[in-house]
Amino acid sequence: MAACRALLAAGRAAGVGGRRGAAGSAPGPGPAPRAGAGDGAGPVAGRSRLYEHVREGLSARPQLDVTALSERDVERRRGSLGGAALREIVRTWSRLGQVRDGIARLEAEKGLVAQGVREILASHDKAAAKTLPELAALRERGRSLRGQLRVLEAEASDLEQRFYLGALQLPNRTHPAVPVGDQSQARLLEVAGEKPVFDFKPKGHLELGEGLDIIRQKRLSHVSGHRSYYLCGAGALLQHALVTFTLRKLLSKGFLPMTVPDLLRGAVFEGCGVQPSANPSPVYTIDPARFEDLCLAGTSEVGIAGYFMDHAVQLQDLPVRVVCSSTCYRAETDTGREPWGLYRVHQFTKVEMFGVTAAERGTESEELLEEFLGLQKEIFSELGLHYRVLDMPTEELGLPAYRKFDIEAWMPGRGKFGEISSASNCTDYQSRRLNIMYSGEGGRLRHAHTVNGTACAVSRMLIALLECNQLRDGRVQVPPVLQPLVGQEVLARPPAPLLRYIGPNQPGGGPPEHGGVP
């Protein structure tokens, strides 16, 4: 009995009972920070497919470390949130922690109250126990605790949702050596290869491809829409040769080959730092009336990350290096930029490198990024390209990259360099969202780091190869390393066109009248 009285007295002294506690005030010393967004600086409202995925119980909650991000990091990146939003997200997280602590204390006290009720019932018969004021007080205290818990749990649910809706839009931290600004501030690190010199005016890849009858992009709007294309004959052989050459190169370096789904849930995209719900969206979404939350991948990086999602790798097996050839789908919304040719297209084949590494020393992912960059340079040098390596500035990093290197190849038909690859160190940004872990000594789990890099984006590689290896008469030399795979040293125009256009409004074209047989 004395224990029951002490329990009730302790509850009153803790200040977690009564009307004030029921209103959801935070237990503990000092005033609670504001959790609301009434000052207009709160997280941007919207949909988070990853958070919905978590609420459905399909994955663990993202373990986001917002306190490691500075306002300067957020302000210097190109994104929807600024420093004021970060401050509000941190305040929301702080308040959520206080509310969860309060819930834990109330749950602990509720357990003690239940234990006290059981002790009274065990030491008295049922009729006598009902008359005891201590039992009535304990039951009243239990009802009060349950009411307080309902209030705090509702507040915790609201705070958690507001936190994740904002925090999942935040970028990664930024490497201190990254240049600040837009693309014009990219730092030139290296120029490699010899720039091709012509004694004639070089043609663009589309003119060359049409002349050789290996690229078709005309009269396709009624077939596959704009920004589409066909590769045929030697054009198709060049694509397969590039993929095969790149895969062989990376397999010899110990990469694990993988094929991945083209259709993935929006949660995986968001975990990788791609926002499928953005407007306009860079992602093709399949009809949600028929397929729940499925999107077409713009890079196999998303599928590979999904493979490791909610899994742990043994420390001794790291780093894991994966190579994947896949079809990539991009919703190029800026139709005014290079609407013709293969530079900006809706669909292309790409060979991607992806790495999962440890974070024991803190430098593993930076070392893997340098390794990927070295492999990219090796591939492009063997193909005979003239290229430059750029350390990309803050506004060009995207959300997940801590640091990103781009490689641009010289494209004579465009008269300038054009991007053919990028390599990014995403540190633990993706792994914290997708629960990608590694197991160290004693089975201790830590968040892995992820690195990705383009090994060969076929459409842009074709631009550089065709334009840099063209001859005066419109033929194109095949790089020596690709000749055994293509079966030709020089691409020449076929003796006659394969097709003659007979569409509507063409003299002598179209189907016979009345649908009869001529």
422 is known as an active-site residue: yes
Active-site entry in 216, 227, 265, 330: 330
Measured in residues, the chain has a length of: 518
Name the one residue in this structure whose structure tokens are 């999107």: 295
Contacts of 402 (CB under 8 A, 6+ apart): 172, 173, 174, 175, 365, 424, 425, 426, 427, 429
Per DSSP, the chain holds a count of helices (H) and strands (E) of 15, 18
Q: Are 355 and 319 in contact (CB under 8 A)?
A: yes
Identity of residue 307: Y
Q: Are 423 and 405 in contact (CB under 8 A)?
A: yes
Active-site entry in 34, 87, 344, 475: 344
What is the spatial distance between Cα 413 and Cα 416, in angstroms, rounded to a whole number?
A: 8
Contacts of 427 (CB under 8 A, 6+ apart): 172, 173, 359, 365, 402, 449, 450
Nearest to 431 by CA among 74, 64, 174: 64
* 69 phi/psi in degrees, rounded to 5: -100, 135
419 is known as an active-site residue: yes
Active-site entry in 25, 94, 144, 422: 422
330 is known as an active-site residue: yes
Q: Are 4 and 116 in contact (CB under 8 A)?
A: yes
Nearest to 242 by CA among 342, 92, 131, 150: 342
What is the spatial distance between Cα 193 and Cα 201, in angstroms, rounded to a whole number?
A: 21
Nearest to 250 by CA among 420, 375, 405, 377: 375
Active-site entry in 105, 281, 419, 446: 419
Nearest to 356 by CA among 322, 323, 320, 324: 320
Residue 445, beta-bridge partner list: 439
235, two tokens: 């054009």
Q: At what angle do helices 83-123 and 133-167 cross, to 10 degrees?
A: 160
321, two tokens: 């290096």
What residues act catalytically? 330, 344, 419, 422, 460
